[in-house]
Amino acid sequence: MGGRRNRRPSAGIIIAAVAIVAALAGTALAGTDATSSAVSKKKVKKIATKQINALAPELSVANAVHADNATNADTAANASALGGKPPSAYAAPTSYRLQFNNEVISSFADDATDSVTTSCDAGEHVAGGGGNSNEPFNVVMSESAPSGNGWRAGFRNVSGGTLTNAEIRVYAVCASP
């Protein structure tokens, strides 16, 4: 009869078993003190207030408990005169279009900056904008912001050398009433 020979467990199996037992024992011990180490709601609020004051001292949440009293504009006391205009003056635009402006820089020196601006037509207002370049890894957008009734985008050459014929483009999202 060819009996099965019992082999001793390897060192890896023994270490794995010890690790499992230690892990289970550690979580069991951690769970026993969980109720005694609980932080009170008052202490959490105090810590949060301290952090808010340290990171953003201009913010205040003192009246946040009253925020549910004005859940929609119909109940707000000044809903009929927003900035001197009735709510109907803030109707959504009926159409949008993109206005583009491209500029080709024949010799764009390293670390140099340039900007391009485009404008919406009369009767339209700028609703957003942005820009891009034909050199996405060498020319980065350093600014993108409204400018009058249009959009301005600034770019910087970060290639480490002079670029030839770098094209930069700005676009404005123009909204019509």
Contact 21, 28 (CB under 8 A): no
Number of domains the chain is built from? 1
- What average pLDDT score do residues 31-52 get? 66
CA dist 171 and 177 (Å) reads 19
DSSP 108: E
The answer to the question of residue 153 being in a domain is yes
Q: Give percent of the chain above pLDDT 90.
A: 37
Give Cβ neighbours of residue 28 (< 8 Å, ≥ 6 apart). none
What are the pLDDT digits (tens) for 90-114? Answer: 677 788 899 989 999 999 999 999 9
- What average pLDDT score do residues 121-141 get? 91
Contact 153, 144 (CB under 8 A): yes
pLDDT of residue 62 exceeding 70: no
The answer to the question of residue 117 being in a domain is yes
CA dist 30 and 112 (Å) reads 58
The answer to the question of residue 103 being in a domain is yes
The answer to the question of residue 113 being in a domain is yes
The answer to the question of residue 105 being in a domain is yes
The answer to the question of residue 127 being in a domain is yes
Mean of per-residue pLDDT scores for the chain: 78
Q: Of the candidates 129, 138, 111, which has an alpha carbon nearest to the alpha carbon of residue 169?
A: 129
The answer to the question of residue 143 being in a domain is yes
Q: Of the candidates 154, 157, 143, which has an alpha carbon nearest to the alpha carbon of residue 114?
A: 154
133: tokens are 């370049």
* 132-168: burial string, b at 16+ Cβ within 10 Å, e else: ebebeebbebeebeebeebbbbbbbbebeeebeebeb
**What pLDDT does 93 receive?**
76
The pTM for the full model equals 0.49
The answer to the question of residue 40 being in a domain is no
Q: Nearest 5 degrees, angle CA 111-CA 117-CA 163?
A: 30
Alpha-helical (H) ranges within 33-159 are: 41-55
Element (H, E) at 29: helix 11-32
Contact 156, 139 (CB under 8 A): yes
Residue 125 domain boundaries: 92-176
pLDDT of residue 39 exceeding 90: no
DSSP 9: P
Q: Of the candidates 163, 100, 173, which has an alpha carbon nearest to the alpha carbon of residue 136?
A: 163
